[in-house]
Chains A and B, each alone.
Chain A
């Protein structure tokens, strides 16, 4: 297959005495869509937080093992902001920051030092178009991001994640708080984006993984049970009985 974008080796994440992730090793290839499925508390969110090192903000959380981005150990990266800009992250609940829609999208580039008005205008429009939100908000860019509907806010979040031109886009259960129609729209967006970047999406909707992912990882109680091509995972040829039971709704 293609080049390795992310290499994870024996990643362990502990919250105090509780181990949320018990040694995960896997690779993510460039331009693929990797879905991570698994029941609640299986360590999915912690895994994503370890990738862009926002786990460091969680009191008591510790990560062991290595995560490499393009062959570079992320724990050795001096400029953490740069790392976080290379990895876009969309949280489960939509978060419109309490500022205008324009400022929401322009936030990351501004923090990175971009000042030019035209440059920013162009980027904001580009990101909002990509997130399928432009048409709805182009006439009210001064509105507070927090006043948008849930589905709009989630697309705003995606636009914000795209604004710093990431190489990898991580989505953590993005459809948990939005309606099915918006979910389908966002899925369309993701299908368009897959040619440009690598996507890791955590989801508890197994069918969503089936629809979008090239490969699917089944995570259960902090351990990788199985990682294979999506069509294998969702067939009866999967290697592990638990995987079969989970994707077919027998347990979970």
Chain B
């Protein structure tokens, strides 16, 4: 009944391959950071680029012959404004929908809604961008009587629609994680469902819901095609929701094709990439820590 020696050797090999694949995620995350950093490092550490200027100056003239400026403030504010608007819309919708799906609806409706959420999440970002460019654009023009409808509002609404599915599904998970005994105890004491949700569930699930919101923020900050197509194309600090802006992601997408590999312009776009990577890394890390926090206690 003894097996061949080579069979055992093959098995050992397979186990090593499995281990290697297991740590592939770590390798890739480091790889991403390394290669993005590598391409941007040349300019980052040369005298021609200053971080202080990048974070405080609004002049973004990366291709100018005589007046090169790498002021990223307008881009950062652009990303920030669109993200904030998106969250203002998406968070109440997302959380309410999560509460409804998890607490107020029957199993059949729940399954249907979850499928719809899944499909909503599956719509490609370029299609969202296209919707922003066409449908939302004309809606905004006719509603607000502006000459062009590609602006913070447009991008914010599109991003909100894109972030809602994440907030709903993660939020629902967080609510599901609250033990049923809590619900039963509250209802047994004569609370209505709303009281139960408001006084018992929300406090109990607040970490998970916060994580859901953070992941929504992560998605909004990192989204590229939709904001590239829907927010208009001007590097400036917006004064109202009807001003066009340009985000960090859109800047890379719009300019990388025109820059030649290795040039200062090319490198500064990688520096923007490092910034984006860092932002989303911090956001995802904190979301994860918050979620693990609950598990640690439970």
A–B in direct contact per CB < 8 Å = yes
A113 proximal to B (CB < 8 A): yes
* A82–B3 CA distance with the chains assembled, in angstroms: 10
State the Cβ distance, B133 to closest chain A Cβ, in Å. 51
B180 on the interface (CB 8 Å rule)? no
Q: Is A109 interfacial (CB-CB < 8 Å)? A: yes
* Chain A residues whose CB sits within 8 angstroms of the CB of B2 once the complex forms: 82, 112-113
Give B71-90 interface residues, CB cut-off 8 Å to A.
Answer: none
Bound CA span A113–B3, Å: 5
Interface 1/0 per residue, B1-34 and A, CB below 8 Å: 1111001000000000000000000000000000
The residues of B that contact A85 with a CB separation of less than 8 Å are 1
State in angstroms the CA–CA spacing of A154 and B160 once bound together: 55
Chain B 47-73 residues near chain A, CB threshold 8 A: none
- The residue in chain B whose Cβ has the minimal distance to the Cβ of A85 is B1
Q: Contact flags (1/0) for A105-137 with B, using CB distance below 8 Å?
A: 000010011100000000000000000000000
CA distance A113 to B6 in the complex (A): 12
Nearest B-chain residue to A112, judged by Cβ? B1
B3 to chain A, nearest CB (A): 4
Q: Please name the residue on chain A nearest to B4 by beta carbon.
A: A113
Q: How far is the CB of B295 from chain A (nearest CB, A)?
A: 16
B contact patch SS? loop
CB contacts (< 8 Å) of A164 on chain B: these are: 1
Name which of B1, B3, B4 has the most chain A CB atoms within 10 A of its CB.
Answer: B1
Which residues of B lie under 8 Å from residue A112 when comparing CB positions? 1-3
Residues of B within 8 A of A82 (CB): 2
Interface string of A145-183 (1 = CB under 8 A from B): 000000000000000000010000000000000000000
Residues of A within 8 A of B7 (CB): 113
Alpha-carbon separation in the docked complex, A112 to B2 (Å)? 6
Q: What CA separation (Å) do A113 and B2 show in the bound complex?
A: 7
Query: B11: shortest Cβ distance to chain A, in Å?
Result: 10
Beta-carbon contacts under 8 Å, A78-105 to B:
82, 85
**Interfacial chain A residues near B4, Cβ < 8 Å:** 113
Q: Residues of B contacting A113 with CB < 8 Å?
A: 1-4, 7
Bound form: Cα–Cα A208–B2 in Å: 37
Q: How far is the CB of A213 from chain B (nearest CB, A)?
A: 30
**Closest CB of chain B to A44's CB: distance in Å?**
30
CA–CA, A113 and B1, complex, Å: 6
- Please give the distance in Å from A166's CB to the nearest CB on chain B: 12
Task: Say how far B9's CB is from chain A's closest CB, in angstroms.
Answer: 13
Query: In the complex, A164→B2 CA distance in Å?
Result: 12
Closest A residue to B8 by beta carbon equals: A79
In the assembled complex, the Cα of A111 lies from the Cα of B3 at a distance in Å of 9
In the assembled complex, the Cα of A85 lies from the Cα of B4 at a distance in Å of 16
Give the CA-CA distance A139 to B13 in the complex, in Å: 41
Tell me which residues across on chain A come within 8 A of B3, comparing CB atoms: 112-113
Bound-state Cα–Cα, A164 to B3, Å? 14
A82 nearest CB neighbor, chain B only: B2
Tell me, in angstroms, the Cα distance from A113 to B4 when the chains sit together. Answer: 8
Residue of B with least CB distance to A164: B1
Give A72 Cβ to nearest chain B Cβ, in Å. Answer: 17
Interface string of A44-73 (1 = CB under 8 A from B): 000000000000000000000000000000
Question: In the complex, how many angstroms separate the beta carbon of B8 from the nearest chain A beta carbon?
Answer: 8
Question: Considering the chains assembled together, what is the distance between the CA atoms of A120 and B269 in angstroms?
Answer: 66
Complex: A121 Cα to B4 Cα, angstroms: 23
How close is B10's CB to chain A, nearest CB, in angstroms? 13
CA distance A109 to B4 in the complex (A): 14
Least CB distance from B253 to A in Å reads 45
Q: How far is the CA of A112 from the CA of B7 in the complex (A)?
A: 11
Residues of chain B within 8 A of A114, CB atoms compared: 1
Shortest CB-to-CB span from A122 to chain B, Å, is 14
List A contacts of B1 (CB < 8 A).
Answer: 85, 109, 112-114, 164
A134 to B248, CA, bound (A): 71
Shortest CB–CB separation between residue A185 and chain B, in angstroms? Answer: 29
Residue in A85, A113, A114, A164 with the greatest tally of chain B CB atoms within 10 Å: A113
Interface residues of B (CB under 8 A from A): 1-4, 7
Given contacts A82-B2, A109-B1, 4 further A-B pairs with CB under 8 A are: A85-B1, A112-B2, A113-B2, A113-B4
Can you give 13 contacting A-B residue pairs, CB < 8 Å? A82-B2, A85-B1, A109-B1, A112-B1, A112-B2, A112-B3, A113-B1, A113-B2, A113-B3, A113-B4, A113-B7, A114-B1, A164-B1
Closest 8 CB pairs of A and B: A113-B3, A112-B1, A113-B1, A114-B1, A112-B3, A113-B2, A109-B1, A113-B4
